[in-house]
Amino acid sequence: MSESPTTEAAPEAAPAAPAAAPADEAALAVDRMRRSSLGALVLLMAQAILGMWAGLYATIPDADTGQGLFASFRNALAHGPVSVATHAGFGMLVFLDACVIVVFALTVQNTLVRAASVLGWLCIAGAAMSGASFVNNSNANGASMTMAVLTFVAVSCYAVNLYVLGGRRA
């Protein structure tokens, strides 16, 4: 008995997955933007609470004043009271999140969402600069008020995103 060699057919290549339809991509972008905006709202509320904690219970060391904005931020992280260091460090994370949201906003086909995201990012940057100004000159109560107002304007911007994108799927 001889066995004849059989040639096995090569398995067929799996068909390529179809590219996502443009409507699906738009729906994913909207969903990602809504989730990111909600996350930013939560982060900003936590940051506002940390700011109140720092404002009520922290005393800025005299050695940290008068050194400039970036040195003030560095000193707040490295030498500041725990509440100020926590507020400054968390603020940096909020700022980075706002940068990511601006990038995400570019994928959404809505001018108002793009504008609100950029304005939210600018407000967070302005609040950070006001915070550094406050550490630089602890008598600058206007800087503290500016920080709070800009934070709540940023909250409003992300709330606008949620409202505008509320029921949209594409």
**Domain residue ranges of the chain, discontinuous segments joined by +:** 22-57+64-164
- Averaged over 92-115, what is the pLDDT? 94
> Rg of the chain's alpha carbons, rounded to an integer?
25
- Averaged over 136-165, what is the pLDDT? 89
Contact 94/47 with Cβ under 8 angstroms? yes
Quote the pLDDT of residue 35. 94
d(CA 155, CA 137): 26
Quote the pLDDT of residue 25. 87
DSSP E strands in the chain: the ranges are none
Between 156 and 78, the more confident residue is 156
Amino acid at 10: A
| Per-residue pLDDT reduced to its tens digit, 67-80 | 777 787 787 788 77
User: Tokens 């909250």, residue?
Assistant: 155
| Nearest CA among 123, 153, 39, 132 for reference residue 88 | 132
Quote the pLDDT of residue 133. 83
Statement: residue 10 has pLDDT above 70: no
| Nearest CA among 157, 170, 167, 168 for reference residue 38 | 157
Contact 121/36 with Cβ under 8 angstroms? no
Between 164 and 143, the more confident residue is 164
Contact 97/157 with Cβ under 8 angstroms? no
Quote the pLDDT of residue 170. 47
Statement: residue 3 has pLDDT above 70: no
Per-residue confidence band for 60, with pLDDT thresholds at 50, 70 and 90: confident
Amino acid at 157: C
CA 67 to the chain's CA centroid = 28
Q: Counting Cβ atoms within 10 Å, is residue 98 exposed (0-12), middle (13-18) or buried (19+)? A: buried
- Of 2-11, 34-43, 69-78, 150-159, the poorest mean pLDDT is in 2-11
d(CA 31, CA 1): 66
Q: Which of 55-64, 82-91, 106-115 has the highest mean pLDDT?
A: 106-115
- Averaged over 97-123, what is the pLDDT? 95
d(CA 38, CA 27): 17
| Nearest CA among 150, 163, 168 for reference residue 109 | 168
